[in-house]
Amino acid sequence: MAIGTQFLIISDTHGHWPYNETNPAPKVDVLVHCGDLTQIGGLPSSRKAIAQLKSIDAEIRLVIAGNHDIELDQQWLFASPYTPEFNGYAFAYGHMEDRFTHVPGDLDLMITHGPPAFDDPVYKLDINGKEDHCGCQKLCQAIQCAKPRLHCFGHLHEGRGVARIGWNEKNPSITPLGKTVKLHIGLDTSTRHRDTFLLNAALRDTKDEGVFITMDLPT
């Protein structure tokens, strides 16, 4: 038996909020923000972002910081906000450093700020404005081990979109699913750990909104 759990997933709002009284956000079970709530941090911007998150009618809110959330870069945070080092931004790690060796297996949902790298020409969720691939190979290895049902992230705005990975004994197969804003992930125990949905929920412009997902969770 499964419970259809509704998610609203958003990332890289940078102080902009796509919802208001005339365009309200849907009521959901879980709100996920994958980081970069602010542009350059600061207490006023952080307070504004928290108020925006609180405006969503959600029973659970899962929020991580991003490289722009400079004021939140403290050791007591328990999340995965890290991205490869870039221009001295927050939550950075060296390109050869592995921040994801302790990702547990048997996951339903994995949240990071930055995207993974995949060596497949159809994979575009980690591209920047120059269409360079900027994903993390170490994060890719962690996903291959954990095989979560859904991995959501942001950071690279131009890579916004959804893809599905089919795991097999040799190489993963990636199927792009475009810029969908709604997705249903069913619960089929016979295919568990055979598929992972990848979601880059970064906002590209003021017209973008969060991605609405229903994921069936085991009871």
Domain assignments of the chain as residue spans, ordered by start: 2-218
**Which is the CATH superfamily of the domain at 2-218?**
Metallo-dependent phosphatases (3.60.21.10)
Please count the other Cβ atoms lying within 10 Å of the Cβ belonging to residue 26.
14
**Cα torsion 88, 91, 93, 95: sign:** negative
Lowest mean pLDDT among 43-47, 65-69, 151-155: 65-69
The string of pLDDT tens digits covering residues 137-185 is 888 888 888 888 899 999 888 999 999 999 886 778 999 999 877 888 8
Q: What is the 3-state composition of the chain as percent helix, strand, coil, each rounded to the nearest 5?
A: 15, 30, 55
How far apart are the C-alpha atoms of 127 and 203, rounded to whole Å? 14
CA 105 to centroid of chain Cα atoms: 18
Take residue 173 and report the two structure tokens written for it: 């197969």
Residues whose CB is less than 8 angstroms from the CB of residue 94 and which lie 6 or more positions away in sequence, other chains included: 84, 85
Task: Note if the pTM is more than 0.95.
Answer: no
Question: For residue 81, what pLDDT is reported?
Answer: 57
